[in-house]
Structure 1
Amino acid sequence: MADFKRIRIMISSRCSSLVADGEQQVSMTVVRKRLHDRLRDEPLLGEALFEVWISDNAPDQSQGDLDTAWNRSLEEVRKADIVLALYTGEAGWAPKSGEIGICHAEFQEVWNNGPARLKVVRVLEVTFPARKSAAETKADRTFQDYFQTLNPTSPEARNADDVVARSLEALREAVASLVKLGGREARKGRFAYGTALDWSRLDFGTRKQAMEEALGEALRDLGASPLSSVAGGWDWPLADESLLTIVHGLPAAFGVAAARELVGQPFLRDHGYDASGEAPSLAGPVHLVACLKTVSESQAMRQLGFPDATIVAAPFGVYVADKVQKIQMVFLANCRDATTTRHALTRLVEWLDSTGEEANLVSRARGRRRIVAAVRLALDEGA
């Protein structure tokens, strides 16, 4: 049985701004910690339902390495099932003067990569504890203009209790909506907006690279680590085995020959993927192919080169395995942006776990390791 999964909520807000709380004022840090504790203790059928992330320290500038803090926050946005933005009109801190603030960046990231995941509470009557610099004022104005252009539907809150109450209402609505939709909107994003549109503007080579980077980052979230000795190679721990996993990007529809040829039949080069100096006991290789659009069983079969193989159409795309040579390729469909790519890989992992195919994949990977080793030895002896 799969582990119980909690709903990941990321709370985005300014920390140091003050709001009314009875007869006194408290910082947004206090308010969102109160909200964090309330959500953490909220059960569903006897189990905690939410996993909540807020930035570790406040004020934000105290986090030390600002570039690391910036990247960590944006990564949490990408991983979250729901992002709750407590909007005060402030852009937040920035690593360098003249850049957009962290609150602006977090808002933009979730809007571009699955806007259905975003819920906003507009916090009014906010007091700023310190005078802002010219750069901060400019960044705030930029964020406010961006927010007004998008004009997301958002309830208003005027004090700390209102913020918590409106946030809980927004989150209830978000959970209900995502359950009804099956998360479809959040996972797909909008192909005519944001990152999906940005990917559509790229040439084949650049898009292929972006797809492979997104798939690699999704693997990293599953515990994989990159291999410097193998281009596109990752050490992916799965079912008590470490798999040599090679990522590929197919940057157009499968029927476009020029795009398909950029991937080709990568298993023909398996003997050249040598990570023995870095990770000597890896099984495989296993090939993960992020496909920009859909992929059919017949297309996957033609890519393999022969029909006598295990070819399964699944929610994530198509899984191909050759019983004799132990070749394994997984075609992940509709990888239009980083969010959809991550979702396709998540669906693959869920399918492997729920069907028991995980053990078969690992067993074939061990067999492929032995075959590749034999081929490499034969080539060395022939040389």
Structure 2
Amino acid sequence: MADFRKLRVMISSRCASTVRRGDSRVSMTVVRTRLKRELEAESLCGERLFEVWISDNAPDQSQGDLETAWEKSLEEVRKADIVLVLYTGEAGWAPARGLGVCHAEFQQAWNDGPARLKVVRIGDVGTAPKDAAELKRDQAFQAYFDDLNPTSPAASDVDAIVARSREALREAVAGLVKLGGREARKGRFAYGAPLDWSRLDFGHRKKAMEDALGGGLAEFGAVESSGGWLWPLGETSLLTICHGLPGGFGVAAAREMVGQPFLHDHLFLARALGEREAPAGPLHLVACLKGITESQAMRQLGFPDATIVAAPFGVYVSDPVQKIQMIFLANCRDLTTTRNALCRLAEWLNATGEAANLARRALGRRRVVQAILDVQGD
């Protein structure tokens, strides 16, 4: 039997700040210590599940070696499977003119992958008087945090903090298991469904890829419309056009089957307008049989002056002037890998807050395309 490795949990927070416990107040060190004890007592099928790390903040600082303590904290963030941030709005101590350690830990965890970052917002926090440098670090952390605005429950006393933290850890474990399960189901491309798709000619493979995308969008609440899907993003109904690129991006015959579909946005929108109120968009969602680079996505757009982001699902392309948006999903070899890429896109949109930006740009694209339709009507 393989060795069982516990999940590493890193708890990031201020130590000296105080919170309510009944009629008295205790330091966050007491909360962190209780969380560590309770989490490490949890078991799964007879085995302890978590290994929890909390910093020995006071000894680190008393030794005067802040740089070493700083690097140790960031190393623990990188090693952790899950990072639990107990957010009080305080950036924490810092080496000379650096970010506060809590700010740096949060930033490291976010940049490494928001899926393993969980946050509990702490209210009614008691703090010691601070100098101007500490206040400036706190303001920088709060501005950074508010800009990202991660989804997070709130708590104001010890029992509530522990309860919300346990719920956040449970949600994180479930999410990571689902993500790992989807990755495991990918399998090899020379067997099963990927092999079946490889046997298809370009036309039938393109159709299979587009059907897989449509089925995946339906799982997110999208409704089929003429020539596309109406994908609900918040309050916005987004006209999403599915495309399949049935060969490698370097194969001209496959690439030309997708071309520059945004040149026909007025036709896509006109068909949708015949059925219902004007949706936002269009957005073009392209399933790519193999990988795709930023340079390849840029060439497909046709000009370099655009927002081009390489992400876990593939490449996201947005033109800030014409509001053209294309999303390329990489390695869509069969139904499972295509749905997996779409799920990773949805997770990225939610984790980064980019869903709201995508919807806003889609509303702008509708106005651009509507103007084209109005001119044609004249």
- Partner residue of 1:235? 230
Contact residue 196 and residue 336 of structure 1 kept, 8 A: yes
Residue type matched to 1:246 in 2? I
What secondary structure does 1:182 align onto?
A: helix
3-state SS of 1:335 partner: coil
CA distance in structure 2 between the partners assigned to 1:289 and 1:180 by the alignment: 24
The aligned counterpart of 2:247 is: 252
Partner of 2:334: 337
Counterparts of 2:276 and 2:263, CA distance in 1? 21
SS at match of 2:370: helix
Say if 1:189 and 1:340, in contact at 8 Å, map to a contact too: no
Please give the residue correspondences for 1:96-107 in structure 2 after superposition, counting only pairs within 5 Å. Answer: none
The residue that corresponds to 1:202 in the other structure is 200
1:298 paired residue number = 295
Deviation digits for residues 302-330 of structure 1, max 9, x if unmatched? 00000000000000000000000000000
- 2:320 aligns to what? 323
Shift of 1:281: 2.5
Give the structure-2-normalised TM-score.
0.52
CA drift at 1:182 = 3.1
Q: Which runs of 5+ in 2 are unaligned?
A: 1-38, 45-172
Matches within 5 A, 1:70-149: none
What is the CA-CA distance between 1:280 and the residue it aligns to? Answer: 1.7
Q: 2:367 aligns with which of 367, 370, 376?
A: 370
Q: CA deviation at 1:185?
A: 4.4
Paired residue total: 207
* Alpha-carbon distance, 1:279 to partner: 2.4
Distance 1:180 1:320 in 2: 27
Q: Give, in angstroms, the shift of residue 292 of structure 1.
A: 0.3
Sort the Cα spacing of 1:180 and 1:353 in 2 relative to 1 into closer, same or farther, 3 A.
closer
User: Residue type of the partner of 2:210?
Assistant: E
| Deviation (angstroms), 1:370 | 0.3
Aligned match of 1:16? none
State how far apart, in whole Å, the 2-side matches of 1:313 and 1:255 are. 18
Task: Please give the secondary structure, in 2, of the residue aligned with 1:245.
Answer: strand
8 Å CA contact 2:182, 2:340 repeated in 1: no
CA–CA separation in structure 1 for the residues paired with 2:217 and 2:180: 23
- Of residues 331, 355, 368 in structure 2, which corresponds to 1:358? 355
Letter in 2 for 1:312: V
Deviation at 1:293, TM superposition (A): 0.3
Distance 1:324 1:301, change over 3 A: same
Question: 8 Å contact 1:309–1:321 — kept in the other structure?
Answer: yes
Deviation at 1:288, TM superposition (A): 0.2
Structure 1 segment 169-180 matched on structure 2, within 5 A:
179=177
Aligned residues: percent identity?
A: 72
Letter in 2 for 1:242: S
Partners of 1:300 and 1:316 in 2: how far apart?
Answer: 13
* 1:21 paired residue number: none
Report what 1:286 is aligned to.
Answer: 283
Q: 1:195 to 1:289 in 2, by over 3 A?
A: same
CA distance in 2, matches of 1:360, 1:184: 27
The 8 Å contact of residues 286 and 329 in structure 2, kept in 1 or not, is answered as: yes
Distance 1:205 1:375 in 2: 31
**Divergent runs of 4+, >4 A:** 178-181
CA distance in 1, matches of 2:178, 2:234: 32
Mapped contact 2:288–2:331 kept (Cα < 8 A): yes
Contact 1:188 1:339 in 2 (8 A): yes
Gaps of 5+ in 1: 1-43, 50-174
Letter in 2 for 1:325: Q
Note the alpha carbon deviations across 1:131-155, whole angstroms, 9 max, x for none: xxxxxxxxxxxxxxxxxxxxxxxxx
- CA offsets 1:149-193 (integer angstroms, 9 cap, x no match): xxxxxxxxxxxxxxxxxxxxxxxxxx99x8599336434232111
CA distance in 1, matches of 2:237, 2:179: 35
Cα root mean square deviation, aligned: 2.4
State the Cα distance separating 1:264 from its structure 2 match: 0.1
> Match for residue 225 of structure 1?
223
Contact 2:245 2:288 in 1 (8 A): yes
**Distance in 2 (alpha carbons) for counterparts of 1:352 and 1:181:** 15
The question of whether the paired residues in 1 share the 8 Å contact of 2:306 and 2:319 is answered with yes
| Residue identity opposite 2:315 in structure 1 | V
Note if contact 1:189-1:339 (Cα within 8 Å) is conserved in structure 2: no
